[in-house]
């Protein structure tokens, strides 16, 4: 069956590990996920099965919310616990403990980490460079050049601060790397830090409270399509029109549909097609 599942990915599992486990539990071959989580991250991972894997591209621009903890007293090349830790001297730790206040951090966050900004993804990331994963090249000692990209931070707030630990919450656009936020903060403050905890708590409108864990996975605990795509327009079509759409034929007819957006054709059981309407004709875009 075409299904969506929302999984609370456990620590030290890669996103592929989750797919591997669910393949066995569901006894299926065609399965995918939207937006990779690193093994050292936990939280929401949206899973699609069978033909719903074709809908993953329509999820990739969704906002996401993360809670993450930063430690100020050391750093690593990967900006997390995955690589060798480099400790800050005791003298510098004492300096920052006495001078790095919550108000100072808040001021820096508001000034530098709100709205549209540019960032460079970590070299220890799953981005592909000339067909190779960046983290693989970095671990082989190869030079990794990753270009800056524009991202958007819609909100960022301090949940707790007690040196050397800082707990933050941020709502960000697609393609945002939380580890890069930590590194950029380091460059501003000239102190060392790395991410000790990273948890994705929300994808679009899907809160982590709706997720299930792998250990007690229930195949009947799937998400409704309209909960996954709350911001999308769902429509129904008459049988003869749907048949033409399934044969990749444009349908010239007046409809009461919104213009030039993705329309999700729903037969009250499943999503069958993606179409668009230009006020003159219905145009097939994808068959699910």
The structure tokens listed for 38 are: 């690193």
Cα 86 to chain centroid distance, Å, stands at: 28
CATH topology of domain 4-62+205-228: Pseudouridine synthase (3.30.2350)
Could you report the per-residue pLDDT of 63-120, keeping only the tens digit for each?
A: 999 999 988 776 655 455 555 666 667 777 788 888 889 999 999 999 999 999 998 7
Q: Does residue 194 carry a pLDDT above 60? A: yes
- Nearest Cα to Cα of residue 167 among 208, 201, 206, 198: 198
- Identify whether the C-beta of residue 183 lies closer than 8 Å to the C-beta of residue 72: no
Q: What are the residue boundaries of the structural domains of the chain, listed by start?
A: 4-62+205-228, 64-203, 233-287
Could you report the per-residue pLDDT of 37-66, keeping only the tens digit for each?
A: 888 899 999 999 999 999 999 988 889 999
Look up the pTM and report it.
0.85
Cα 183 to chain centroid distance, Å, stands at: 19
DSSP codes, 230-244: TTSEEE---HHHHHH
Among 8, 17, 38, 240, the one annotated catalytic = 38
Quick one: DSSP state of residue 5? E
Fold equal for 4-62+205-228 and 64-203: yes
Predicted local distance difference test score (pLDDT) of residue 280? 95
Report the sign of the C-alpha dihedral through residues 193, 197, 198, 200, in that order.
negative
Separation CA 88–CA 150 (nearest Å): 31
Separation CA 82–CA 80 (nearest Å): 6
Report the sign of the C-alpha dihedral through residues 98, 106, 103, 195, in that order.
negative
The structure tokens listed for 237 are: 């079509």
Name the least confident of 91-100, 109-118, 121-130, 238-247.
Answer: 121-130
What superfamily does domain 64-203 belong to in CATH? Pseudouridine synthase (3.30.2350.10)
Residue 17 annotated in active site: no
- Nearest Cα to Cα of residue 191 among 91, 78, 266, 93: 93
Predicted local distance difference test score (pLDDT) of residue 142? 64
């Amino acid at each position: 069956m075409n299904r969506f599942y929302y999984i609370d990915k456990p620590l030290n599992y890669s996103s592929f590990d989750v797919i591997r486990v669910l393949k066995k539990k569901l006894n299926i071959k065609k399965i995918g996920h939207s937006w990779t989580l690193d093994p050292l991250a936990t939280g929401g991972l949206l899973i699609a099965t069978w033909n719903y894997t074709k809908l993953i591209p329509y999820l990739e621009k969704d906002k996401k919310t993360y809670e993450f903890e930063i430690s100020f007293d050391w750093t690593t090349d990967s900006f997390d616990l995955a690589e060798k830790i480099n400790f800050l001297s005791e003298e510098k730790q004492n300096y920052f403990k006495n001078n790095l206040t919550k108000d100072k951090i808040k001021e820096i966050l508001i000034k530098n980490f709100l709205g549209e900004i540019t960032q460079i993804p970590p070299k220890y990331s799953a981005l592909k460079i000339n067909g190779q994963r960046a983290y693989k090249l970095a671990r082989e000692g190869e030079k990794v050049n990753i270009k800056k990209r524009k991202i958007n931070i819609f909100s960022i707030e301090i949940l707790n601060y007690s040196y050397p630990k800082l707990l933050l919450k941020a709502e960000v656009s697609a393609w945002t790397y939380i580890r890069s936020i930590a590194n950029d903060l380091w460059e501003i403050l000239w102190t060392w830090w790395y991410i000790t905890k990273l948890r994705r708590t929300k994808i679009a409108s899907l809160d982590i409270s709706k997720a299930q864990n792998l250990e007690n996975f229930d195949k009947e605990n799937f998400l409704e399509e309209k909960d996954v795509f709350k911001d999308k327009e769902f429509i129904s079509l008459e049988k003869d029109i749907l048949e033409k759409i399934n044969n990749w034929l444009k349908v010239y007819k007046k409809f009461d549909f919104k213009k030039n957006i993705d329309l999700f054709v729903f037969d009250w059981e499943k999503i069958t097609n993606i179409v668009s309407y230009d006020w003159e004709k219905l145009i097939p875009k994808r068959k699910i």
